[in-house]
């Protein structure tokens, strides 16, 4: 009878955890296959499964039973899942899966096997299964751009006497170089931090020592990205086309490899046995196994049924008056797609699209840019386009330029600028969001101009000038 009660308790925990995990897992797996997320999370997922399998096959556990932590970890995962559910933020809900990984690794006693791994660091390593790169670029991309530009300026100033540094813009030997969002180093930083967490999974260091090492690795990576920017800008100043794709990629890989090499070679923290003393150990009395099993199942159902109320809904904003015609072409309003209609209906803001012959204008306006604003890559990649970033222009306003190829082979020139209600203009969504976060600009809009790639440059410039003038930009 006691064994039966044990089985009922753990069946209750298993069913409840599965109920809480279904939607986050579905969203997470979708993010791996949806190009708009630009995620390599599936690779990390395969690595985690392999690590668990290898550790399980190495030997039987040799140590105390750790199942008493399961109840507390379940409650913690349920709380995180509830926050994500009620705030309508999928990635917060997906964070609960990391706690599930910690609970599973603890239950399987992976740290007590011959090939021991740390359950705590394995759960942290799992976080890289999430689409973190776009989030890091949007939230911290602009500060990373500024730091990389400062490092590059320090390195280049002894070599080029005419160097001018203005925020993320460098001018050297008459060449204008912008440290744009793709050059912020966010992707390289995530790779280095994931390497650090993977090493911690295997070496199982004391948390304090690992954190100090992590800070050092982050600083090393940021400096390495500044070196990369200096090499790119210095090469352009000396007449070397460092923006040529193969050379540009080669410099990036060498810089990242140079930063990673000492970490791989010399990071050997002293192993410390994992102690979950910071988590209360709760042993459920046998007479309560059935009631507790029923309670946790009911709790999980209550969590997934909780109302979704997004916290970052945009306030009501006035729609922009689009021009009725441009360059002799009558404007035709273009209906939003069902996905766009749902997105802006649920989370506020406004979106407008108009076509002027072969040319188009898309405008998004919001008081919640972290929710609504993004680079053209996000939606175009999701629609099946291939997208290539071409660079940044400052005339007549700061503008990021992309080349987008549709699934049927049509090639488009896409220009986007971000403008606030107080007149701040920027080419990067990261700077727009950073200004919004520090409270300097509240209402933001993205202004996207789309023209055929084959259009004559003079005609494209005329359309750009006409569109921006009509929009009072």
| Residue that is written with structure tokens 């494209």 in the block | 460
Q: Which residues pair with 252 in a beta bridge?
A: none
Integer Cα distance of 413 and 428 in angstroms: 17
State CA 405 to chain mean position distance: 24
* Res 111: pLDDT: 85
Pull the structure tokens for residue 62.
């040799």
Dmax over Cα atoms in the chain, in whole Å?
Answer: 85
The dihedral through the CA atoms of 244, 185, 33, 124 has a sign that is: positive
Q: pLDDT value at position 122? A: 94
The DSSP line for 360-424 is EEEEEEES-HHHH---HHHHHHHTT-EEEEEEEE-SSS-EEEEEEE-TTS-EEEEEEEEEETTS-
CA separation, residue 274 to residues 39, 48, 118, 234 (Å):
31, 18, 7, 48
Instruction: Judge whether 227 and 252 are in contact, CB under 8 Å.
Output: no
pLDDT score at 199: 94
Q: Are 407 and 331 in contact (CB under 8 A)?
A: no
CA gap 5, 290 in Å, rounded = 7
- Model confidence, pTM: 0.87
Residue pLDDT tens, the chain, 473 long: 344 446 787 788 888 888 999 999 999 999 998 888 888 999 999 999 999 999 998 877 776 666 667 778 888 888 999 998 888 888 999 999 999 999 888 888 888 888 889 888 999 999 999 999 888 888 888 888 889 989 989 999 998 888 888 878 888 888 888 787 777 888 899 999 999 999 999 999 988 889 999 999 999 999 999 999 999 888 888 888 888 888 888 988 998 899 899 999 999 888 876 565 556 666 777 787 888 888 888 988 988 988 888 877 888 888 788 888 888 889 898 888 887 787 777 788 888 899 998 999 999 999 988 888 888 887 888 778 888 888 888 888 989 899 999 888 899 999 999 999 888 899 888 888 888 888 777 889 999 999 999 999 999 999 999 999 998 88
Name which of 298, 352, 355 is nearest 325 in CA terms.
Answer: 355
Q: Per the omega criterion (within 30 degrees of 0), is the bond before 396 cis?
A: yes
**pLDDT at res. 349:** 85
| pLDDT recorded at residue 1 | 37
Residues near 298 by beta carbon (within 8 Å), at least 6 away in sequence? none
Q: For residues 95 and 80, what is the distance between their CA atoms, to the nearest angstrom?
A: 7
N- to C-terminal Cα separation, the chain? 76
Can you name the residues that pair with 451 across neighbouring β-strands?
413
């Amino acid at each position: 009878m006691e064994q039966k009660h044990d089985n009922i308790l753990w069946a209750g925990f298993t069913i409840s955890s599965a109920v809480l995990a279904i939607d986050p897992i579905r969203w997470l797996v979708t993010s791996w296959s949806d190009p708009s997320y630009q995620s390599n999370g599936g690779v990390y997922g395969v690595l985690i499964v392999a690590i668990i399998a290898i550790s399980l096959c190495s030997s039987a556990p040799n140590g105390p039973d750790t199942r008493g932590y399961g109840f507390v970890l379940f409650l913690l995962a349920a709380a995180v899942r509830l926050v994500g559910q009620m705030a309508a933020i999928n990635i917060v809900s997906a964070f609960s899966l990391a706690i599930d990984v910690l609970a599973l690794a603890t239950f399987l006693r992976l740290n007590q096997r011959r090939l021991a791994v740390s359950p705590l660091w394995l759960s942290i390593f799992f976080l890289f299964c999430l689409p973190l790169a776009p989030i890091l670029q949007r939230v911290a991309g602009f500060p990373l751009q500024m730091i990389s530009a400062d490092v590059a300026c320090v390195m280049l100033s002894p070599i080029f006497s005419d160097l001018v540094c203005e925020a993320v813009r460098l001018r050297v030997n008459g060449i204008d170089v912008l440290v744009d969002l793709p050059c912020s180093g966010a992707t390289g930083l995530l790779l280095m931090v994931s390497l650090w967490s993977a090493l911690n999974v295997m070496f199982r260091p004391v948390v304090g020592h690992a954190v100090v090492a992590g800070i050092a690795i982050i600083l090393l990576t940021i400096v390495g990205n500044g070196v990369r920017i200096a090499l790119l800008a210095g090469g352009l100043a000396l007449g070397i086309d460092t923006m040529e794709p193969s050379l540009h990629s080669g410099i990036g890989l060498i810089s990242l490899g140079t930063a990673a090499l000492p970490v791989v070679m010399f990071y050997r923290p002293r192993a410390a046995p994992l102690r979950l003393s910071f988590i209360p150990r709760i042993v459920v009395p046998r007479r309560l196994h059935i009631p507790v099993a029923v309670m946790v199942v009911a709790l999980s159902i209550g969590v997934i049924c909780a109302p979704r109320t997004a916290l970052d809904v945009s306030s009501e904003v006035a729609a922009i008056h689009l021009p009725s015609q441009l360059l002799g072409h009558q404007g035709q309003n273009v209906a939003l797609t069902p996905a766009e209609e749902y997105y802006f209906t649920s989370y506020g803001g406004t979106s407008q699209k108009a076509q002027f012959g072969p040319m188009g204008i898309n405008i998004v306006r919001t008081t919640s840019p972290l929710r609504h604003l993004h680079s053209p890559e996000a939606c175009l990649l999701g629609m099946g386009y291939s997208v290539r970033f071409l660079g940044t222009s400052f005339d007549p306003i700061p503008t990021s330029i992309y080349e987008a190829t549709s699934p049927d082979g049509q090639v488009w020139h896409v220009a986007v600028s971000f403008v606030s209600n107080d007149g701040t203009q920027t080419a990067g969504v990261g700077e727009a969001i950073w200004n919004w976060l520090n409270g300097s600009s509240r209402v933001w809009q993205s202004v996207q101009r789309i023209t055929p790639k084959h259009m004559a440059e003079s005609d494209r410039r005329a359309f750009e000038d006409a569109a921006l003038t009509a929009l009072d930009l």
